[in-house]
Chains A and B, each alone.
Chain A
Amino acid sequence: MNKKHIQDLLDKYFEGETSLREEKELKNFFRKTALLPEEWQSYKQMFGFFESEGLKTMPIKDNVQRKKNILWLILTGVSIAASVLILLTIFLPPTKTQLEPLAIATKHLDSVYSKKTQTKKTETAKPEKSEPKKTDKKTSVPIRSILGDDNSTILAGGKSTKHQEISISTTINDALSPLDKMNDIRNAMDKFKYFDLMNKYLPDRDISSLIRNNK
């Protein structure tokens, strides 16, 4: 009964005789009915197609997309600027203020080398050394611990007054701290590619020989 009714409607539909209401009925029927005769399967798809096509909406592109484009432009601009800045900080030559510690350090090294050439035993410079000792302590700690044995043998062998102990420790300190600093400086020079300075101040000197000299 129902099938005949639908078949009648379909016949009418293809003759262009159906009213809008009848067409709606057809659409509803094909949407709601799952089990259909095989010859009607295509009609189900067809009416479904009509309905889905009627739901298409115009893509919003005019204003929103333009806004999105602007946002995108700003974002890319900012990111490019940021990356350029990062690259500049990496590859630009360092400024004076950045090189200041290096300058001070090299000056210090200069003084150390010149002192070494002048006098190998620095007993007279005791009071002066006490001041830089404070600042040097921190950096000299790790190496001192490595060379702890040497230190103790020196102290044991010395068997002398406080005066002498201080003089020995200060000389060791003096000998160690430039070494310690030298590593820092070497790193710094490496970083900034100052090979000229490296050759001038850090020749192929064996560290151990330097320590022995100071002893």
Chain B
Amino acid sequence: MEIWHKSFRDKLYRLALRLLNSSDEASDVAQEVWTRLWQKREDLPKLNNAESFAYTMTRNLCLDILKSSRMKNERLNAIHENTLAGPQGDSIEKNEKMALIYQAINNLPEQQKIVMQLRDIEGYELSEIAQTLNLTPNNTKVILCRARQNVRETILNFERHEQETYSGFTR
């Protein structure tokens, strides 16, 4: 079965990482989901889609962690640290853009984050994602559309702001 493959565990890890912004916590979640799946391995064939079941479990675990850590108010700091040490590129300018995109996705609501992660990064069909989130495919498409437009908006805003500051200097 494909879900026992290491690459699938990495997918779970990436989704958890998207939501939690912490490599350690994301690994723990992925490991935990994998263990729970293994404990339920006999029931898995009864499910029509074991993968989306695993994603749902990952999502729920992550949201639980977020809820409890938000109460402790630790999350904000973690996010900040992670953005600073975020994606790496060759040039400063590229790095800046990458950080911007990272931040744009990071600022999305959880639902949009999950849909974008599973669609644009992992490449799942909308119907599969819909199953994971217990939504209709149409709803999922709307969420995906919003997520993409939000990201584009953030990038365009940044560029507009950049141009303004440039023209401000030249004046």
Interface residues of A (CB under 8 A from B): 13-16, 20, 23-24, 42, 45-46, 48-50, 52-54, 56-59, 61-62
Residue of B nearest to A49 (CB): B101
Known: A53-B121, A58-B27. A42 touches B97 (CB 8 A): yes
Binary CB contact string for chain B from 80 to 119 against chain A (1 if under 8 A, 0 otherwise): 0000000100000010011001100000000000000000
| B123 pairs with A42, CB closer than 8 A | no
Which residues of A have CB within 8 Å of B27? Answer: 58-59, 61-62
Residue of B nearest to A61 (CB): B27
User: Which interface residue of A24, A46, A61, A62 has the most chain B CB atoms within 10 A?
Assistant: A46
Asked if B75 CB lies within 8 Å of chain A CBs, one says: no
Give the complex CA separation of A201 and B156 in angstroms.
Answer: 94
Summed over the interface, the residue pairs from A and B with CB atoms below 8 Å come to a total of: 60
Known: A52-B87, A54-B122. A45 touches B148 (CB 8 A): no
Known: A42-B159, A46-B151, A59-B23. A54 touches B13 (CB 8 A): no
| B142 pairs with A16, CB closer than 8 A | yes
B157 to chain A, nearest CB (A): 11
| B98 pairs with A45, CB closer than 8 A | yes
Binary CB contact string for chain B from 127 to 167 against chain A (1 if under 8 A, 0 otherwise): 00000000000000110110011011001100100000000
Contact residue among B30, B98, B149 (Cβ-Cβ distance under 8 Å from A49): B98
Give the complex CA separation of A46 and B120 in angstroms.
Answer: 10
Asked if B10 CB lies within 8 Å of chain A CBs, one says: yes
Asked if B31 CB lies within 8 Å of chain A CBs, one says: yes
Give the complex CA separation of A204 and B149 in angstroms.
Answer: 97
A-B contact pairs, 25 of them (CB 8 A): A14-B145, A16-B141, A16-B142, A16-B144, A16-B145, A16-B148, A24-B123, A42-B97, A42-B156, A45-B98, A45-B101, A46-B101, A46-B155, A49-B87, A49-B101, A53-B14, A53-B87, A54-B123, A56-B17, A57-B10, A58-B9, A58-B10, A58-B26, A61-B27, A62-B31
Which residues of A have CB within 8 Å of B43? Answer: none
| A54 pairs with B121, CB closer than 8 A | yes
Residue of B nearest to A54 (CB): B121
Which residues of B have CB within 8 Å of A42? Answer: 97, 101, 155-156, 159
Which residues of B have CB within 8 Å of A62? Answer: 27, 31
B13 to chain A, nearest CB (A): 4
B104 to chain A, nearest CB (A): 9
Asked if B125 CB lies within 8 Å of chain A CBs, one says: yes
A202 to chain B, nearest CB (A): 68
A107 to chain B, nearest CB (A): 71
Which residues of B have CB within 8 Å of A56? Answer: 10, 13-14, 17
| A54 pairs with B14, CB closer than 8 A | yes
Known: A49-B101, A58-B27, A61-B27. A20 touches B125 (CB 8 A): yes
Residue of A nearest to B122 (CB): A54
Residue of A nearest to B158 (CB): A42
Known: A14-B152, A58-B27. A49 touches B102 (CB 8 A): yes
Known pairs A14-B149, A54-B121; list 13 more (Cβ under 8 Å): A14-B148, A16-B144, A42-B97, A42-B101, A42-B155, A42-B159, A46-B101, A48-B98, A54-B14, A56-B10, A58-B27, A59-B27, A62-B27
Give the complex CA separation of A49 and B46 in angstroms.
Answer: 36
Which residues of A have CB within 8 Å of B149? Answer: 14
| B144 pairs with A58, CB closer than 8 A | no
Which residues of A have CB within 8 Å of B10? Answer: 56-58
B131 to chain A, nearest CB (A): 16
Give the complex CA separation of A46 and B104 in angstroms.
Answer: 10
